Amino acid sequence: MEPLTRSEVFGELRKELYGDKQSSHSSTHVFIILGASGDLAKKKIYPTLWWLFKDGLLPEDIYIVGFARSDLTVDKIKAACLPHMKDTDEELDSLSAFFKRNSYLSGRYDVGSSFERLNSHLSSLPGGETANRLFYLALPPTVYHHVSTNIRNHCMSCKGWNRVIFEKPFGHDLQSSQELSAHLANLFKEDQIYRIDHYLGKEMVQNLMVLRFGNRLFGPIWNRNSVACVVLTFKEPFGTQGRGGYFDGFGIIRDVMQNHLLQMLCLIAMEKPTSTSPDDVRNEKVKVLKCIAPPNMADVVLGQYVGDPGGEGDANLGYLDDPTVPKGSCTPTFATAVLYVQNERWDGVPFILRCGKALNERKAEVRLQFTDVPGDIFADRCQRNELVVRVQPDEAIYLKMMTKRPGVFFGPEETELDLTYKSRYKNVKLPDAYERLILDVFCGNQMHFVRSDELREAWRIFTPLLHQIEAAKRQPIPYTYGSRGPSESDDLIQRVGFRYEGTYKCVT
Amino acid sequence: MTLPLSRSEVFGELRQELYDDEKFHQSDVHIFIIMGASGDLAKKKIYPTLWWLFRDGLLPEETYFVGFARSDLTVDAIRTACMPFMKVTEMEAERLSAFFARNSYISGKYAEDASFSKLNAHMLALPGGPEANRLFYLALPPTVYHDVTKNIKQHCMSTKGWNRVIVEKPFGHDLQSSEELSTHLSSLFSEDQIYRIDHYLGKEMVQNLMVLRFGNRIFGPIWNRDSVACVVLTFKEPFGTQGRGGYFDDFGIIRDVMQNHLLQMLCLVAMEKPASTSSDDVRDEKVKVLKCITPVSMSDVVLGQYVGNPEGEGDAKLGYLDDPTVPKGSTQATFATAVLYVHNERWDGVPFILRCGKALNERKAEVRLQFTDVPGDIFDNKCQRNELVVRVQPNEAIYAKMMSKKPGVYFSPEETELDLTYKSRYKDVKLPDAYERLILDVFCGSQMHFVRSDELREAWRIFTPILHQIDKEKPKPIPYKYGSRGPSEADDLVKRVGFRYEGTYKWVNPHKL
């Protein structure tokens, strides 16, 4: 079958998205970027809106309004964003059309009249009175309270719908998160609140549901009888790169583990939902989270990277060498923690979450390691099966298993059944996570956004540990920039049941 | 994965594996006797295979090869006849000479004692002859089996070394004739001296079935009637009888392919895990599962016979009956689909569909497990059934057909596969010919990949009633065009018993994209 052209693909998608919602499609939509002058806006939000616009995935009648304190113009915004927008050379006409729909307002986040002015501006746009409104808070959390209150008081559309998009951090522990959620619940309904965890926009993470629930093969083995352990990994090969000061207030557990890794764990561990409607799916995620007790300190390893004397450039610098990091900081840049899901399906199976900066590679993956073959007849030469879903880089799924050593031999050796996306789906464009997610907001699909009770459970699980670490000022174990992290982490995972054979390397 | 081993490294490892095995004594003398040395099988398969094994140093150094047939031949004449099939490179010329230096030839009559005494004397005269181990390969038409085996037993057995007799199919043509032959053989030789060849048991992917099934935890819980909807075992050839229809006409496709090759693969898919990988433990399980299969009934069988394709080229224009050696009006089947059931706890109710035929649209031999539907579907019935496919030939591969999220901006499921294609994954590995493996097994005394007498008996028990019925009633087979998929009635049968053919999926070799 010939691969579809770009416009055919998006034509199909438009039909899928808007097929039975013609009325909504033809309404006016206004997308308001609060914090339009910031990093996130210029590197991610504006470019993403541009790509969606260019591919015809946004409703025809769309306006984009930037809002920040700075004294900016659309031209200045354009100049700031252009380096991050791709494909602009061939699409100059489209690009002009895009920026023609852009406007900018400056104002103060904590001042009501700024938002009154914003509202007037929104209402003055063609179709603005009845338009649907999406508010993207690309802002530091310190101003959430003010901004959300002001949006509610001054900027809601009376005729169209209103949706508010938030980025993490959502608080820094259970209490602060609940305060924020309570505040938001006062102002907006759950179906207006879109909390972004961008991992939920990634191809392979979205694939987890289809893999699990669309395949008969996996049904009978997806439980404690066959699964020895689950390992969820996130590794970055670089450090804090001069922004350690910001990171220091959070640490790796809040940055990666409590959200991205825990989300992937939910998708792996949850029961099959009643349907694929967002609330049915999120109900199952909340249900499985409720079965997870806070991890024990004994099941956690914390690390902090130090410079590699033999390394080049950044690699020479440790976390504490970053001038923005407070002297003697104990904030971990690496953590491994073991969680248990105490339900019928998973009781006793370790869910190992591992994440870190300044490690030896860039990788995010989900790995199910299966139990040994009972009643082995191959003289103990069989290694455990593993199902691996590589989220990034190089999206892939592979099944590590035993086969007869090919050729004249008869004994077993490891091999894999493999699905590597860039080979199998050479011509398919995999969209950026933000493209998918922003499109979901337009469509009103909350499946890949974090619900309030989901968030509460995620904090419930990690808050005791976080408080304990901070109270005790627990010293993280040093590890060299570019290494695999502290060996104590390997010890931990082996102790709880992961078997690392070391004999196998995936060949794709 | 380590770097691919060079040829000599591979064979070095294997030699070590073999010689560590106490059954294979490197230093003993071995004599390999090819009965029917002048025939097709000998020159196209046996001699070349022996040469390859010899060349790769896989045979004990002290091995002698003795040809025996009625013709008046010399080793040089044999050499000439075999050369086209030997694949010798210039660098191997010396080794080839060494190989033929160990060859000799004796002519004689299959039914004559004196000929065999002469053969024996010749063998005793070889260096180390009296102590040598002896392998007798019967590359002969079945009509002479009785005489030859009797004579071997009476005149040619080694008294100091071991003796092994290798026989090729056909092993009789029904239960009774097969049992007679088996009885005859067992009156002469013990079971551990009898090596019945089904060359499919020497194929890479067929040998792999045991490792796949019993070396992987993930397959354990789904390898049964709860998850498997049906099993399809397929053998397709893209050519007809090619002027040798006369010989084929006595047997038909069921005896030629189904009762042996396909049934063997069925055993490996359906059997319970053996107590160990020793030959008898494995074969015990095969016999056990065969015993649970009742004879196939006519209503679960479709028979076909190919006719010429008017638009075809060359051979394709000719139907089976156009072959001048085929008796006029023959109703012999060149295509058959049959459904078997294994009545045991693991498989009760699961159809095992065996399909084979000549003059079809492609060359293919594969095992395909189709799994049941996902219960409690949440994807709007968009999911197709999973399948696990082991392609035996051509292009050895294993793949799991399954559902994945349609990649890109979509969310719905579409079909894809987790794939293992041997010629990509194992680019540098030489996959030996089935005969190389099997003959080596005989030297090593490993019978795991040979058919035991009781196995054979069960295989005939399952098919004999229907074969007799067909021979008696001579039902007219359904005509199908040369190069087609066979009669559509076969697809109807397969669907009726539970195989779902979606038609939406095409296996994409990811390494070809």
Mean pLDDT (chain A) is 91
B58: three-class secondary structure by DSSP: coil
Nearest beta carbon to residue A273 from set B218, B378, B396: B378
Nearest beta carbon to residue A373 from set B217, B379, B408: B217
Worst-scoring range by mean pLDDT, A6-20, A131-145, A462-476, B353-367? Answer: A6-20
Residue A182 forms part of a structural domain: no
Number of H helices, E strands in chain A: 18, 15
Which CATH number characterizes residue A22's domain?
3.40.50.720
Mean pLDDT of B383-402: 94
Instruction: At A216, list the tokens.
Output: 């008969």
Q: Is A211 in the same domain as A155?
A: no
B503 touches chain A (CB under 8 A): no
Q: Does the beta-carbon distance from A408 to B404 stay under 8 Å?
A: no
CATH number of B7-168: 3.40.50.720
**CA–CA min distance A174, chain B (Å):** 32
* A contact test, residue of B11, B24, B216, B506 with most A CBs within 10 A: B216
Q: Does the beta-carbon distance from A220 to B17 stay under 8 Å?
A: no
Q: Is A438 in the same domain as A298?
A: yes
Q: Give the pLDDT of residue A362.
A: 97
Mean pLDDT of B115-129: 94
Q: Please tell me which residue, A189 or B422, carries the higher pLDDT value.
A: A189
Q: Does the beta-carbon distance from B221 to A221 stay under 8 Å?
A: yes
A412: preceding bond cis by omega (within 30 degrees): no
A98: three-class secondary structure by DSSP: helix
CB neighbours of residue A280 within 10 Å: 14
**CA–CA min distance A272, chain B (Å):** 8
Torsion on CA atoms A59, A63, A69, A71, rounded to nearest 10: 140
Q: Does the beta-carbon distance from A424 to B440 stay under 8 Å?
A: no
pLDDT at A1 > cutoff 50: no
Mean pLDDT of B413-431: 88
pLDDT at B499 > cutoff 60: yes
Residue A503 forms part of a structural domain: no
Q: Does the beta-carbon distance from A406 to B273 stay under 8 Å?
A: no
Tell me A190's DSSP state: G
pLDDT, tens digit, 9 for 90 and up, residues B45-58:
999 999 999 998 88
β-pair type (A386-392, A363-370): antiparallel
Q: Is A162 in the same domain as A241?
A: no
Residue A188 forms part of a structural domain: no
Worst-scoring range by mean pLDDT, A326-335, B85-94, B503-512? Answer: B503-512
Nearest beta carbon to residue A408 from set B10, B372, B418: B10
Residue A120 forms part of a structural domain: yes
Nearest beta carbon to residue A215 from set B386, B429, B430: B386
ipTM of the complex: 0.87
Q: Is A155 in the same domain as A265?
A: no
pLDDT at B140 > cutoff 60: yes
Longest Cα separation, chain A? 82
Torsion on CA atoms B292, B298, B302, B305, rounded to nearest 10: 120
B96 touches chain A (CB under 8 A): no
Q: Is A258 in the same domain as A149?
A: no
**CA–CA min distance B372, chain A (Å):** 7
* A contact test, residue of B14, B16, B218, B423 with most A CBs within 10 A: B218
pLDDT at B90 > cutoff 60: yes
Q: Is A368 in the same domain as A317?
A: yes
Residue boundaries of the structural domains of chain B: 7-168, 201-398+427-433+452-497
**For chains A and B, what is the number of CB pairs under 8 angstroms?**
210
What is the spatial distance between Cα B28 and Cα A168, in angstroms, rounded to a whole number? 76
Per CB-CB distance under 8 Å, the chain B contacts of A423 are: 510-511, 513
Q: Does the beta-carbon distance from B379 to A276 stay under 8 Å?
A: yes
What is the spatial distance between Cα A180 and Cα A165, in angstroms, rounded to a whole number? 14
The count of domains in chain A is: 2
Residue A23 pLDDT grade (very low, low, confident, very high; cuts 50, 70, 90): very low
What is the spatial distance between Cα B254 and Cα B251, in angstroms, rounded to a whole number? 8
Q: Is A210 in the same domain as A161?
A: no
A402: three-class secondary structure by DSSP: strand
Worst-scoring range by mean pLDDT, A178-192, A293-307, A390-404, A409-423? Answer: A409-423
Which residue of chain B has the CA closest to A405? B208
Mean pLDDT of B144-153: 96
What is the spatial distance between Cα B417 and Cα B395, in angstroms, rounded to a whole number? 16
Mean pLDDT of B379-390: 93
- The amino acid that residue A452 corresponds to is S
What is the spatial distance between Cα B471 and Cα A139, in angstroms, rounded to a whole number? 85
**CA–CA min distance A231, chain B (Å):** 17
Q: Is A87 in the same domain as A42?
A: yes
Q: Does the beta-carbon distance from B432 to A418 stay under 8 Å?
A: no
pLDDT at B18 > cutoff 70: no
B23 touches chain A (CB under 8 A): no
Q: Is A284 in the same domain as A360?
A: yes
Q: Give the pLDDT of residue A436.
A: 92
pLDDT, tens digit, 9 for 90 and up, residues A287-319:
999 999 999 999 999 999 999 999 888 899 999
| Percentage of residues in chain B having pLDDT higher than 90 | 82
Mean pLDDT of A175-182: 96
Residue A473 forms part of a structural domain: yes
Residue B3 pLDDT grade (very low, low, confident, very high; cuts 50, 70, 90): very low
B40: CB partners within 8 A, 6+ apart: none
**CA–CA min distance A384, chain B (Å):** 7
Q: Give the pLDDT of residue B424.
A: 87
Q: Give the pLDDT of residue B412.
A: 86
* B contact test, residue of A401, A438, A499 with most B CBs within 10 A: A401
pLDDT, tens digit, 9 for 90 and up, residues A212-249:
999 999 999 999 999 999 999 999 999 998 889 899 99
Per CB-CB distance under 8 Å, the chain A contacts of B407 are: 203, 395, 421, 425, 428, 430
Q: Give the pLDDT of residue A89.
A: 75
Instruction: At B151, list the tokens.
Output: 């004579």
Worst-scoring range by mean pLDDT, A143-152, A260-269, A422-431, B253-262? Answer: A422-431
Look at residues A167, A189, A223 and tell me which one is the last residue of a structural domain: A167
Strand ranges (E), B345-494: 351-357, 364-371, 387-393, 397-405, 413-421, 478-481
As annotated, the active-site residues of B are 261
Q: Is A387 in the same domain as A479?
A: yes
Instruction: At B222, list the tokens.
Output: 């789904």
Mean pLDDT of A462-467: 97
Residue A129 pLDDT grade (very low, low, confident, very high; cuts 50, 70, 90): confident
Given the residues A121, A260, A448, A467, the one annotated as active site: A260
CA distances to A7, A16, A443, B408 from A12, in Å:
9, 6, 15, 12
What is the spatial distance between Cα B468 and Cα B445, in angstroms, rounded to a whole number? 36
Q: Give the pLDDT of residue A22.
A: 45
Instruction: At A452, list the tokens.
Output: 């309030």
Which CATH number characterizes residue A274's domain?
3.30.360.10
Residue A262 forms part of a structural domain: yes
**CA–CA min distance B376, chain A (Å):** 9
**CA–CA min distance A284, chain B (Å):** 14
Q: Does the beta-carbon distance from A403 to B221 stay under 8 Å?
A: no
Q: Does the beta-carbon distance from B408 to A220 stay under 8 Å?
A: no
Q: Is A140 in the same domain as A233?
A: no
Residue A11 pLDDT grade (very low, low, confident, very high; cuts 50, 70, 90): low
What is the spatial distance between Cα A484 and Cα A41, in angstroms, rounded to a whole number? 33
B7 touches chain A (CB under 8 A): no
Range of the domain at A329: 200-496
What is the spatial distance between Cα B56 and Cα B95, in angstroms, rounded to a whole number? 10
B477: preceding bond cis by omega (within 30 degrees): no
pLDDT at A21 > cutoff 70: no
Mean pLDDT of A467-491: 95
B510 touches chain A (CB under 8 A): yes
Mean pLDDT (chain B) is 91
Q: Is A158 in the same domain as A212?
A: no
Q: Give the pLDDT of residue B243.
A: 83
pLDDT at B511 > cutoff 60: no
Per CB-CB distance under 8 Å, the chain B contacts of A207 are: 404-405
What's the fold here for domain B201-398+427-433+452-497? Answer: Dihydrodipicolinate Reductase; domain 2 (3.30.360)
